[in-house]
Amino acid sequence: MKKVFSRPKSLRKVSMHYCPGCGHSIIHRLIAELLDELKLRDKTICVPPAGCAVLAYYYLDIDMVEAPHGRATAVATGIKRVHPKNLVFSYQGDGDLAAIGTSEALHAANRGEQITVIFVNNAVYGMTGGQMAPTTLAGQKTTTSPFGRDPKIEGPPIRVCELLATLHNTSYLERVAVNSPAHIKKTKNALRKAFEHQKKNTGFSLVEILSPCPTNWRMDPLQSCKWIDEVMVKEFPLGVLKEVKC
Amino acid sequence: MNKQLMYGTHAIGEAAIQAGCTCYFGYPITPQNELPEYMSRRLTEVPGGVFIQAESELASINMVLGASVAGARAMTSSSSPGISLKQEGISFLAGMELPAVIVNIVRGGPGLGNIAPAQSDYFQATRGGGHGDYRIVVLAPASVQELADMTFAAFDLADEYRVPVMVMGDGMLGQLMEPVVMPVRKKKKLPEKDYILTGAKRRPARLVKSLILDTKAMEDHNWKLMRKYRRIEQNETRWESFLLDDAEMVVIAYGTAARIARGAINRLRREDESIRVGLIRPITLWPFPTDVLKKASQKIKDFFVFEMSAGQMVEDVRLALDGSGTIHFYGRPGGVVPTPAELARSIARHYYQSQRKQKK
Ligand code: SF4
């Protein structure tokens, strides 16, 4: 019988610790599939984040170095400058990239570092227990915005792709989601494109992935997927925000 | 190599290049800007040379982390307030056991303080500086030649023990122009870098991290680090002494302060032949030359600590002497650099007082 589905080689044979319905496990799998397909596993160096996905290094079977919270793009910069031929990507959450690490991300993008950022936006701080993130939606209740985020006081959510699109040296910016099979397919394509851009040294690439966090959204997995479609994409429209010629 | 006249900051930069440093990351801050300026030019001539003026101190130390884990010899430099910002990264480097060289051209503090030469970062440097149980090697040069020699040595030390190494000077040393002979790299047997990330080609994937959630494993890691630090203490403690043989009082000072102390001691001995003052100069601030002081205290009872701070190293002296001997202290914080004559007056006062007491 022909085998049509199997575990990617770049994904270790261990069960993941993520909550049921969490987007991280899907994203990990997509990365692993791509590294297999593009035959990049033995050329890749990944900088995982502080947050739920810090344990990505137990799941992805590739070279990894942990970064202090928010500093992944700076660490990735150091690595890529020493190994310009390797595929170097960071994997960061919304607090990591859009709050504590904004400066590092913005300047790496502005310098046009030849790295890829996989930016997982689930609108909350997951690991620390669901506090308000820079991408928390207006009115969204979290453990530190118990009455809902008030944009007048807490500011509106930050749109990272739009922000980075204004910078000259960004080469590929796309926002996708992992809440349905069709969207997951698009996410994989976006990641493929970002990696291809990096291979051709076109500049800084980032894929923003809207990802469910049922635990901290206080929803079940299905509701979470629906919430992305019905609420989240209104604030964070999906699509390619920038693509230079590759 | 020939003797050449060089600025302190340039000597640091050139010595780093001679040591095989290919990556410099930094953020401007006075009084050390001539170093990144030098590196920005010089690294373009080095194969694989990388210079980035980073957006912050946080970014620069983390770029160092990235370059180091990628296998390169990497450095950063700054001055006191900037070094405070780097502490997060230094703690990670220590936890992950990654080599790095950090230059601190210390200025007066706390806060923004001033840009004058100071030694008030001693506590921060010798206690690790950031969070967690760790130490870093701290070298304290006292001349432009030593800035070069110690920067050069710092890279080997960092690779040998997989630790961050700090070269701690001040604005006076950095701005000084003195003749230097650049050290030349010789083949040295260093441990193979079997931890670096290059992509998992024909080998299992590697992971470099400091997160250890299991408390027992974290404790084991801490003890492993401590064993390494004990080895460094045994093998790498450096100091220098001056006119110690007949000394009845020993001045303890490092870096710029040690230079001033030498001047003061020469002056005192010239003016009054009965004055017997010597010098112990710690060259490594961590590891601190504890045993040397202990040994000295068998013969000498008066220890005069001079620092360009309100008194930091004096605590290590107290720990080393452990109650034996009397400790005298002269401190000038805030960026004040006393003259040898000023220091000599203070030493003389304490010396004569002590002699009178002993006679009684
Ligand atoms: S808390 Fe949220 S982001 Fe973290 S594992 Fe659970 S669902 Fe995923």
pLDDT, tens digit, 9 for 90 and up, residues B44-95: 999 999 999 999 999 999 999 999 999 999 999 999 999 999 999 999 999 9
Judgement on whether residues B13 and B58 belong to the same structural domain of the protein: yes
- Averaged pLDDT for residues A235-245: 97
Q: Say whether both B200 and B221 belong to one domain.
A: yes
Beta carbons of B62 and A44 less than 8 Å apart: no
Let me know if residue A133 belongs to a domain: yes
Kindly tell me the burial class for residue B126, based on how many C-beta atoms sit within 10 Å of its own C-beta (0-12, 13-18, 19 or more): buried
Q: pLDDT tens across B116-146, in order?
A: 999 999 999 999 999 999 999 999 999 999 9
Could you tell me if B26 and B142 lie in one domain?
yes
Is some CB atom of chain B closer than 8 A to the CB atom of A104?
Answer: yes
Please count the structural domains in chain B: 2
Q: Does ligand 1 lie within 6 Å of residue A142's CB atom?
A: no
Question: What parts of chain B have a pLDDT lower than 70?
Answer: 1
What is the residue with the minimal CA distance to atom 8 of ligand 1? A22
Number of domains in chain A: 1
**Mean pLDDT, residues A219-245 taken together:** 97
Cβ-defined contact of B207 to A57 (cutoff 8 Å): yes
- Would an 8 Å CB–CB cutoff place A14 in contact with chain B? no
ipTM of model: 0.97
Note whether B33 and B130 are same-domain residues: yes
Beta carbon of A216 within 6 Å of any ligand 1 atom: yes
- B7 and B83 in a single domain? The answer is yes
Contacts of B88 in chain A (CB under 8 A): 68, 71
Domain at A138, CATH number: 3.40.50.970
Instruction: Band the pLDDT of A50: cuts 50, 70, 90.
Output: confident
Q: Best residue in A45, A82, A110, A114 to probe B by mutation, most B CBs within 10 Å?
A: A82
Spell out which residues of chain B touch residue A167, defining contact as CB-CB under 8 Å: none
Query: What pLDDT shows up at residue B1?
Result: 64
The pLDDT of residue A34: 98
How many Å lie between the centroid of ligand 1 and the Cα of residue A17? 9
Q: Which pLDDT does position A55 carry in this prediction?
A: 87
Question: Are B65 and B184 part of one and the same domain?
Answer: yes
Domain span holding position B44: 3-236
Assess whether the C-beta atom of A213 lies below 6 angstroms from ligand 1: yes
Give yes or no for a contact between B49 and A48, defined as CB atoms under 8 angstroms apart.
no
For ligand 1, atom 6, the nearest C-alpha belongs to A19
**Domain range enclosing A49:** 24-243
Q: Of B66, B202, B206, which has the smallest distance from its Cβ to A75's Cβ?
A: B66
Is A199 an interface residue toward B (CB < 8 Å)? Answer: no
Establish if A229 belongs to a structural domain: yes
Look at residue A246 in the predicted model and tell me its pLDDT.
80
B52, B88, B210 ranked by CB distance to A66: nearest = B210
Reported confidence tier of residue A1, pLDDT bands at 50, 70, 90:
confident
Q: Do A65 and B67 touch (CB under 8 A)?
A: no
Q: Nearest Cβ partner of A104 from B59, B67, B208?
A: B59
Q: B171 and B291: one domain? A: no
pTM: 0.97
A41 contacts on B by Cβ (under 8 Å): 200
Q: Is A217 in the pocket of ligand 1 (CB under 6 A)?
A: no
Closest CA to A123 of A193, A188, A199, A215: A215
What is the predicted pLDDT for the residue at B360? 81
